């Protein structure tokens, strides 16, 4: 796959051992993930996700949720410096929100696009520079995996089995090979792993 700009598409998501990004109670059921998302390993992992990224791509749900949380962290001098670094990056970076329902942007430096994720990201990949980060937006990550457009996967694997809820890796994805670029294990048993697509 030709990539004249050298831009990588990176996707970040926290998963349970059974591959779920939320529990059986729906998108708000994050009891098997939240305790591990605030560890040192998780915060260092988050820093790795955005360090080289110049564009953030989000689904509507995350765009609205992030708007209610991260700007205040950016201004909070008592916040963990890693959280604050991510928050400042997110506030300042170019953001693309994929939505069929939003009519105006919920953030500054943001454009709302009503188009298939694969088309939007392929267009972003063809122009500009720096990584494109899809952060915690499975509604965007799934179609990108289906189109084989993800170049790097940042996964935080939480040592719990949710037993229900949505999975990231659905049946029917194209077969692909990945190489482990980084991994780290935390005191609670969480594993931060970075995988690069072998092309």
Q: What are 59-91's pLDDT values in tens digits?
A: 998 888 888 899 999 999 999 999 999 999 999
- Displacement of CA 44 from its chain's centroid (Å): 14
- Cα separation, 50 vs 52, in Å, equals 6
**Which domains are present in the chain?**
9-197 (3.40.430.10)
Convert the pLDDT of each residue in 3-59 to its tens digit: 666 899 999 999 999 999 999 999 999 999 999 999 999 999 999 999 999 999 999
Q: pLDDT band for position 149 (50/70/90)?
A: very high
Taking the C-alpha atoms of residue 14 and residue 35, their distance in angstroms, rounded to an integer, is 11
Residue 130 has pLDDT above 70, yes or no: yes
122, 149 in Cβ contact below 8 A? Answer: yes
For the stretch 156-177, pLDDT in tens is 999 999 999 999 999 999 999 9
């Amino acid at each position: 796959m030709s990539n004249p700009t050298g831009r990588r598409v990176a996707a970040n998501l926290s998963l349970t051992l059974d591959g779920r990004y939320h529990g059986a109670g729906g998108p708000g059921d994050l009891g098997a993930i939240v305790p591990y998302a605030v560890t040192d390993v998780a915060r260092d992992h988050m820093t790795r996700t955005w360090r080289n990224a110049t564009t953030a791509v989000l689904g509507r749900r995350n765009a609205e949720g992030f708007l209610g949380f991260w700007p205040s962290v950016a201004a909070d001098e008592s916040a963990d410096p890693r959280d604050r670094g991510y928050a400042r990056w997110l506030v300042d970076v170019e953001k693309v929100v994929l939505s069929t329902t939003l009519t105006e942007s919920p953030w500054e430096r943001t454009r709302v696009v009503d188009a298939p994720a694969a088309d939007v990201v392929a267009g972003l990949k063809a122009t500009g520079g720096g990584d494109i980060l899809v952060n915690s937006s499975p509604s965007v990550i799934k179609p990108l995996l289906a189109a084989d457009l993800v170049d790097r996967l940042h996964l935080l694997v939480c040592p719990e089995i949710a037993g229900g809820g949505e999975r990231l890796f659905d049946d029917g994805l194209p077969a692909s090979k990945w190489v482990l670029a980084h991994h780290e294990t935390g005191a609670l048993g969480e594993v931060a792993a970075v995988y690069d697509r072998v092309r």
